[in-house]
Amino acid sequence: MSDGPLPAAPATSAAGTLSLVARRVVAALGSYALAITLLLVLLVLTFFGTLEQAHMSLLDVQVKYFESWFVIHDIGFLSIPLPGATPVLTLLAVNLVVGGVVRMRKRYETAGILVAHLGILLLLAGSYVEWLLSDKGQMTLMEGQSSDEFASYHDWEIVVRERKDGGAATEFVLPARRLMDLEPEDTARFASARLPFDVVVSRWHRNVEPSRAGGADAVDGWRFDPRKPEKEAERNLPGALVGLAGKGGGSVRARTLLWGAHGLPWVHEEDGRRFEVELRKVRWTLPFRVTLDRFVKEDHPGIGMARRFSSYVTRTEDGVDAASHITMNAPLRHHGYTLYQSGWGPEGAAPGTPLFSTFSVVRNPSDQVPKYACYVIALGLFVHFVVFKFVRYIARESRRRAAAGSAA
């Protein structure tokens, strides 16, 4: 970054004035002052976000403080307005590009710093790609079970499944993001040319409890009572009123309540076609199947606390099996997906109780970017501090001593 004096420019015309303003803006965007201010704001956001976790789920805190453009943090009756982490990190990236790459003096001695700055930019870019494109969820298996799907921790989707012969089905998945952005008073309509009806979703609540009710609001004697979001967001059980309506704005001809705790889908038959409508955690399909062959847990002597646990799995793809051993520090990586050993249960199980193994499953195109970014940053710092600073210090000292010896 550069805080060097701006070259004097005669502001004798409008163009000159504009040019001066542009230069000052660029200079401000690349300044140390802006960098330090942004880092301080990030520090404050992190501090307030950490405190807020006493009252909100980690997911909600992440959304409120780190995926927002603007946030108001309340301390008692005092409301503190702050920029969210989105503009702060965006400006930080701009600051780094302008001040740390473009405007930085390109000299032999600053090559290391330039490389380190590029490494930091790579880290930021990787984080952005992860935020934008990654899928994160979990897969739980008991020994002998297999699966090629993993489910989101927090996000829910509505699926309309049309049954076909031979156990096959076509699943029409309503976009989770659209659903989860709905407010209770909103109504959303979804359509597909392959469905004989539109799907109308209303009264979407993030966390509900059903109760018996009568009156106009009730559906078949039931209604949903909204509940405060849980402190652990994965515990929320959403609910919605779902109707099947005539295509092209037709009226609703069948409707029901869908709840996250329902064990069965709603079955609707129309024109000899059979549809199942279900509210479920967002699911992603892996391009391979995982079978848990054996789960191993070693306890600390004399107590039930696990010392280490791992899973022996078989990965099956195109009919070909491959054995893998997933441990805490050795995930299974394949086709851009990573399966980490993240848990087991049930906690406190008696000896002999069948255990289950839980894997965190991540699809992250920038999975390895942080590692390579760290290599680049380390290289830059090595070049700057070791190659230029230390070696030149040694050379300078040698010359000074040599000069002192000659003088003596």
Smaller CB distance to other proteins: residue 75 or 264? Answer: 264
Binding range to other proteins, per CB under 8 A, among 69-77, 359-367, 374-382, 386-394: 69-77
Smaller CB distance to other proteins: residue 164 or 400? Answer: 164
Burial tier of 202 (Cβ tally within 10 Å: 0-12, 13-18, 19+):
middle
Smaller CB distance to other proteins: residue 227 or 297? Answer: 227
217 binds other proteins (CB under 8 A): no
207 binds other proteins (CB under 8 A): yes
Pick the binder of other proteins from 2, 37, 110, 192 (CB under 8 A).
192
- Token pair, residue 250, equals 């037709």
Cβ 380 vs Cβ 113: under 8 Å = yes
Binding range to other proteins, per CB under 8 A, among 8-16, 104-112, 116-124, 142-150: 142-150
Question: What DSSP state is assigned to residue 186?
Answer: -
Phi and psi of 37, rounded to 5°? Answer: -60, -45
- Token pair, residue 109, equals 């001695």
Task: Tell me which residue of 119, 124, 126 sits closest to 376, measured CA to CA.
Answer: 119
Q: Which parts of 76-115 interact with other proteins (CB under 8 A)?
A: 84, 86
Binding range to other proteins, per CB under 8 A, among 3-11, 114-122, 183-191, 330-338: 183-191
194 binds other proteins (CB under 8 A): yes
Phi and psi of 388, rounded to 5°? Answer: -90, -55
Q: Which parts of 3-62 interact with other proteins (CB under 8 A)?
A: none
Residue 393 Cβ, how far from other proteins at the closest point, in Å? Answer: 46
Pick the binder of other proteins from 189, 389, 392, 399 (CB under 8 A).
189
Cβ 104 vs Cβ 32: under 8 Å = no
Question: What DSSP state is assigned to residue 234?
Answer: G
Pick the binder of other proteins from 48, 156, 190, 197 (CB under 8 A).
190
Question: What DSSP state is assigned to residue 195?
Answer: S
What is the distance between the alpha carbons of residues 46 and 375, in angstroms, rounded to a whole number?
26
272 binds other proteins (CB under 8 A): no
315 binds other proteins (CB under 8 A): no
Q: How many CB atoms lie within 10 A of CB 64?
A: 19
Q: Which parts of 345-404 interact with other proteins (CB under 8 A)?
A: 345-350, 353-354, 356
Decide: helix, strand or coil at residue 249: coil
Residue 402 Cβ, how far from other proteins at the closest point, in Å? Answer: 59
